[in-house]
């Protein structure tokens, strides 16, 4: 593994953690709904780093959380989080980063904003909820239908996050094109 | 950063991390298929007794469950709606017991002891040209980056506020990403200058 790859993986794992430590963003059209910025970290890791490095960043994050660091939103962490009904979402982040990174690489010929939006929506919403709903159904003992209903309230927040990720990718592509590693590696 | 680790030593601190992880894995495997309410309530009581035996500081840690209550209420509501409130209570007792038990392991094990306990499991990385030592480096690097990134965010927020008088919020994310990537280039160069990512398996 190259030095730079290792540092970038560690960097995006750290960015994910910092997104959870920051006070809640006042997202434009989600007044009153508490949204943690954190799941955006998984989409960002994929969109910026590409499939494998993005997924590795999430693996590293979960590893450090399991070691006992309270790095998830609200100071949660340790082994306990892997036994909550939201465990599907937690493991889902690895798949989110991988799928959005893979899509971003597959769409490298397309303009950045639409490519990143497609990657973030398919990876960050479709894939994440597939994992999240499965986890909720298994751990919570619900039927898949009920688990889906229980998860639906979070989708508007994640849609906003997907748009933000696309905007960030576009700004980064303008300001520091070589930073968008999913496009040039 | 709020630490999950209990600084006050208890009897559970003295048990090696590997044994605690093994016990946790076994209990979770055994508890997963069981669905009798008395058994699950018993398991929950046993875990609470474990906390009581660890002292006041451990009992105070139960407050960590507070953010989960809305989720628990939703779960119970769905089970009640389906006419099987008992199944809901079983699920709730199992989740509470397992989360608390897992947290007891985290609470009484230092991060470096945990790292040492899982290092043998990382040995297969060597077959793919990776190295457990590279993993340890990535973990250390990530933990060190967090306060740095936090300071970087604060600096961006300050200058945004100086210009506009409002909080930057999500608008700072793009410049934040660019600056952090610049930081990561410097870190990678510094790392290369010091011999690069370790490749062997020996310390």
Considering A92-96, B121-125, B156-160, the range whose residues carry the highest mean pLDDT is A92-96
Q: Which residues of B touch A172 (CB under 8 A)?
A: 174, 177-178, 181
Same domain, yes or no: B79 and B25: yes
Co-location of B88 and B131 in the same domain: no
**How far apart are the C-alpha atoms of A70 and A144, rounded to whole Å?**
30
Instruction: Give the span between the Cα atoms of A181 and B24, in whole angstroms.
Output: 39
Band (B2; pLDDT cuts 50, 70, 90): low
| Domain-embedded: residue A81 | yes
- Answer for the pair A136, A142: CB distance below 8 angstroms, yes or no: yes
Q: Which of these three, B109, B132, B164, is where a domain ends?
A: B109
Domain count along chain B: 2
Are B103 and B149 in the same domain?
Answer: no
Confidence of residue A38 (pLDDT cuts 50, 70, 90): confident
Q: Which residue of A has its CA nearest to B115?
A: A67
Same domain, B157 and B189: yes
Q: Are B91 and B34 in contact (CB under 8 A)?
A: no
Residue at A185 is within a domain: no
| pLDDT tens digits along A44-96 | 999 999 999 999 999 999 999 999 888 887 778 889 889 988 899 999 999 99
**Residues 6+ positions from B144 with CB-CB distance below 8 Å:** none
Instruction: Tell me the residue range of the domain where A50 lies.
Output: 3-180
Asked if A31 contacts A100 with a C-beta cutoff of 8 angstroms, the reply is no
Judge if B43 and B91 occupy the same domain.
yes
Structural domain for B18, as ranges: 11-109
Q: Are residues B88 and B141 in the same domain?
A: no
Neighbours of B84 (CB within 10 A): 14
Instruction: Tell me whether residues B149 and A15 touch, CB distance under 8 A.
Output: yes
Q: pTM of the predicted model, to two decimals?
A: 0.88
The mean predicted confidence, pLDDT, of chain A is 85
In a domain, B154, yes or no: yes
Determine contact: B36 vs chain A, CB below 8 A: no
- How is B3-31 classified by DSSP, letter by letter? --S--S--HHHHS-HHHHHHHHHHHHHHH
- Is residue B100 domain-shared with residue B21, that is, in the same domain? yes
Q: Please provide the average confidence, as pLDDT, over all residues in chain B.
A: 86
A76 strand-pairing partners: A72
Give domain status of residue A117, yes or no. Answer: yes
CATH at residue A150: 1.10.1760.20
Task: Count up the domains in chain A and report the number.
Answer: 1
Cα-trace Rg, chain B:
23
- Mean pLDDT on B123-138: 80
Is residue A89 situated within a structural domain?
Answer: yes
Q: Do A78 and B4 touch (CB under 8 A)?
A: yes
Residue A144 zone, left/alpha/beta (φ > 0; ψ -120 to 50; rest)? alpha
Count Cβ neighbours within 10 Å for each residue of B25-41 and write b for 16 or more, e otherwise: eebbeebeeeeeeeebe
CB atoms within 10 A of CB A185: 12
Check whether residue B135 and residue B87 sit in a common domain: no
Whether this model's ipTM surpasses 0.90 comes out as no
Say what the pLDDT of residue B152 is: 92
Q: How far is CA B68 from the centre of its chain?
A: 15
- B17 and B104 fall within a common domain: yes
In this complex, which of B4, B139, B184 lies closest to A70 when CB atoms are compared?
B4
Instruction: Tell whether B91 and B152 lie within a shared domain.
Output: no
Which of B109, B140, B173 is where one domain is finished? B109
Residue B97 counted as domain residue:
yes
* Residue B199 counted as domain residue: no
Q: Which residue has the tokens 């959380």?
A: A65
Half-sphere exposure of A61 (CA within 13 A, CB side): 35
Please tell me whether residues B17 and B100 are part of one structural domain: yes
Instruction: Identify the three-state secondary structure at position B202.
Output: coil
């Amino acid at each position: 593994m190259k030095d730079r790859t290792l540092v970038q993986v560690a960097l995006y794992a750290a960015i994910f953690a910092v997104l959870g430590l920051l006070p809640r963003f006042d997202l434009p059209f989600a007044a009153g709904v508490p949204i943690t910025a954190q799941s955006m970290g998984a989409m960002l890791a994929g969109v910026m780093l590409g499939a494998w490095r993005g997924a590795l960043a999430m693996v590293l994050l979960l590893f450090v959380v399991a070691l006992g660091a309270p790095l998830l939103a609200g100071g949660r962490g340790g082994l306990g989080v892997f036994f909550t009904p939201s465990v599907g979402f937690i493991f889902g982040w690895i798949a989110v980063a991988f799928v959005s990174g893979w899509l971003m690489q597959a769409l490298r010929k397309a303009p950045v904003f639409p490519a990143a939006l497609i990657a973030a929506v398919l990876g960050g919403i479709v894939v994440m909820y597939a994992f999240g709903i499965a986890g909720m159904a298994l751990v919570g003992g619900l039927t898949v239908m009920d688990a889906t209903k229980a998860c639906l309230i979070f989708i508007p927040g994640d849609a906003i996050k997907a748009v933000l990720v696309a905007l960030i990718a576009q700004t980064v592509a303008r300001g520091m094109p070589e930073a968008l590693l999913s496009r040039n590696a | 950063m709020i630490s999950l680790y209990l600084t006050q030593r208890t009897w559970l601190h003295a048990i090696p991390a590997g044994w605690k992880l093994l016990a946790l894995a076994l209990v979770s495997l055994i508890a997963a298929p069981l669905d009798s309410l008395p058994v699950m309530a018993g398991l929950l009581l046993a875990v609470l007794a474990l906390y009581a035996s660890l002292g006041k500081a451990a009992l105070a840690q139960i407050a960590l469950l507070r953010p989960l209550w809305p989720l628990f209420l939703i779960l119970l509501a769905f089970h009640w709606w389906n006419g099987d409130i008992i199944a809901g209570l079983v699920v709730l007792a199992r989740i509470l017991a397992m989360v608390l038990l897992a947290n007891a392991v985290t609470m009484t094990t230092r991060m470096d002891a945990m790292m040492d306990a899982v290092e043998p499991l990382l040995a297969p990385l060597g077959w793919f040209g990776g190295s457990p030592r590279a993993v340890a480096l990535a973990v250390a690097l990530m933990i060190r980056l967090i306060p740095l990134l936090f300071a970087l965010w604060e600096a961006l927020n300050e200058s945004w506020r100086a210009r506009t008088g409002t909080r930057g919020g999500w608008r700072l994310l793009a410049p934040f990403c660019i600056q952090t990537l610049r930081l990561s280039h410097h870190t990678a160069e510094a790392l290369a200058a010091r011999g690069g990512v370790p490749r062997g398996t020996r310390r």
